[in-house]
Amino acid sequence: MSRYASSKIIQLSNGYHVWTRRVGESPIKMLLLHGGPGSTHTYMKIFENYLPPAGIEIYFYDQLGSYCSDQPDDISLWNVERFCEEVEEVRTALGLDHFYLCGQSWGGFLAIEYALHHGHHLKGLIISNMVASIQSYMDYIHILRKQLPIEVQKNLEYYENKGEYDAPEYQDLLFKSLYRKHLCRLDPWPSDVQHGFALMNNQVYNTMQGPNEFVITGNFKDWNRWEDLAHIHTPCLVIGARYDTMNPNDLIEMARRMPNAQSHICENGSHLAMWDDAESYFSAIQQFISKVEEN
């Protein structure tokens, strides 16, 4: 294996193990937090194509319950506080300090929590495709839903009222009406994106979020950090996309509320803008890091 890429298994204080992989070699280091919750690093592999060649050392990491890491059958583990402290344990084990943290979707949620609890370790923060409260997300997803044809809305409600979230017909409606328009606009989806969805740990996802993007019933449903953003002094990039499941106006407002933040909206992208608007997405990240490094 090249000295520029290596994997490391980290034992957490609770005895479970999580998987990490370093790519690149540079004094500029970035830890990546994947979404879900309960997804995997696989859909973020595209970072490897852009950041290490630009002189940024990156660390992939599967959170506990995800793919290459241990997957204990214990719903008490799936909560915001424990995941936040897990990130700190991973940071310590990797020897990272004064580093960049990039979280996408649920990972952006987790990055906000980490910045509020352990921000003194950060050199820069990237909040990708995540707003500052679950209510804000729900408000916007409701707007997107109301834009669907009436017949599609009625069919979604039919299965939701019966609690048949796993019905093939319901899943097909979700994919065609929401996922293809607002999660990833490429057709077909890249294999890494497909793997990210196929490998989802549904116990983690259902416990914390709920059945799907439209129905939020999990234990983080009341999460709200709008008033706390002013306490994040770390240089920050809030990045999202025009066709995202997160309201672009909310992302811009998040950056406005932080003392040292900027925002970037990828005009052709969706929730996975790193794939369907890659040049805009990664150019913004590289420019942000260059700016921070100059100061």
Mean pLDDT of the 148-157 span: 93
Q: What is the pLDDT of residue 31?
A: 98
pLDDT in tens, 232-255: 999 999 999 999 999 999 999 999
pLDDT in tens, 38-73: 999 999 999 999 999 999 999 999 999 999 999 999
Q: What domains lie within the chain, and their CATH numbers?
A: 5-142+191-294 (3.40.50.1820)
Strand 57-62, strand 17-23: pairing = antiparallel
Using CA atoms, how far apart are residues 115 and 86, in angstroms rounded to an integer? Answer: 13
Q: 239, 47 in Cβ contact below 8 A? A: no
Residues identified as active-site? 105, 244, 271
pLDDT above 70 covers what percent of the chain?
99
Q: What is the pLDDT of residue 1?
A: 36
